[in-house]
């Protein structure tokens, strides 16, 4: 009788743990050296474009938010269920590189991703244009580099995916287009430079958005010059999968 009661208590505790903290189950130790991707953890980091109104609790209906990261996770979870992938979204609306640094240990390093995708830069750009000279392109590159160095020290096998920041001439961005275009270009160049320096996957989002302007106007792809429309997020997911698939061969 005693062993039966103990068994029931154990099962009850495990069920409560699953309901209360599904992401804690995802964060349990995993095989992070499997080149075939079994058990891989994918982490998306960034600002509001990545945040996508994601849930901050155990609501699995919204855990990835909406947007490119949701499309990517959905597709890979569907196509490769045998791989046992884990996906995390830790984008936070309004974040700049300095904000990432403040939460990097908890929201990145503690998760121990195998694939770390980063999209950051539009808020750094806007802050500089609005007059805050602490957010120069040089400061952006320096802070970004420090994050990558810190991550490599603690997670030497991590695969970085560095995503190019972008804008299109819509809304307030269009009102100050030349400055936005110039400043985002500087930060995009920094991301490309860091990608070469750290031998990462580079996703040319900025270039991809510029190319599709021949198909439809800017506000078809990005509604306010910064945040993509549904078609824009689909474009991002396609570009991400294409570029990541060149290096991580089980992704098609």
The residues carrying an active-site annotation are: 48, 224, 227
Round to whole Å and give the CA distance between 85 and 241: 15
Beta-sheet strands, E only, within 31-137: 41-46, 86-89, 115-119
Buried b vs exposed e over 12-27: b needs ≥16 C-beta within 10 Å?
Answer: eeeeeeeeeeeeeeee
Round to whole Å and give the CA distance between 171 and 169: 7
Place of tokens 């244009």: 129
Residue 29 contacts residue 103 (beta carbons within 8 Å): no
Q: What angle do CA 57, 58, 63 make, to 5 degrees?
A: 80
User: In the 8-state DSSP scheme, what is residue 110?
Assistant: G
Structure tokens, 246 = 């060149």
Round to whole Å and give the CA distance between 168 and 209: 8
Phi-psi region of 208 (alpha: psi -120 to 50; beta: other; left: phi over 0): alpha
């Amino acid at each position: 009788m005693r062993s039966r009661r103990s068994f029931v208590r154990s099962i009850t505790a495990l069920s409560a743990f699953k309901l209360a903290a599904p992401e804690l189950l995802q964060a349990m130790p995993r095989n992070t050296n499997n080149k075939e991707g079994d058990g891989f953890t994918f982490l998306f980091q960034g600002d509001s474009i990545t945040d996508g109104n994601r849930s901050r609790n155990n609501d699995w209906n919204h855990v990835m938010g909406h947007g490119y990261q949701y499309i990517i996770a959905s597709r890979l979870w569907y196509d490769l269920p045998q791989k046992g992938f884990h996906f995390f979204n830790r984008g936070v609306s309004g974040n700049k590189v300095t904000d990432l640094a403040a939460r990097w240990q908890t929201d990145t390093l503690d998760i121990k991703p195998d694939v770390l995708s980063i999209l950051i830069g539009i808020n750094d750009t806007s802050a500089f244009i609005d007059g805050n000279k602490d957010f120069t392109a040089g400061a952006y590159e320096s802070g970004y580099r420090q994050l990558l160095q810190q991550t490599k020290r603690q997670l030497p096998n991590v695969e970085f995916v560095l995503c190019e920041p972008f804008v299109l001439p819509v809304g307030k961005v269009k009102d100050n287009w030349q400055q936005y275009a110039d400043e985002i270009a500087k930060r995009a160049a920094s991301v490309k430079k860091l990608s070469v320096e750290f031998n990462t996957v580079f996703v040319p989002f900025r270039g991809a958005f510029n190319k599709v302007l021949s198909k439809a106007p800017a506000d078809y792809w990005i509604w306010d010059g910064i945040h993509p429309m549904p078609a824009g997020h689909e474009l991002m997911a396609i570009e991400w999968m294409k570029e990541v698939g060149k290096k991580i061969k089980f992704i098609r």
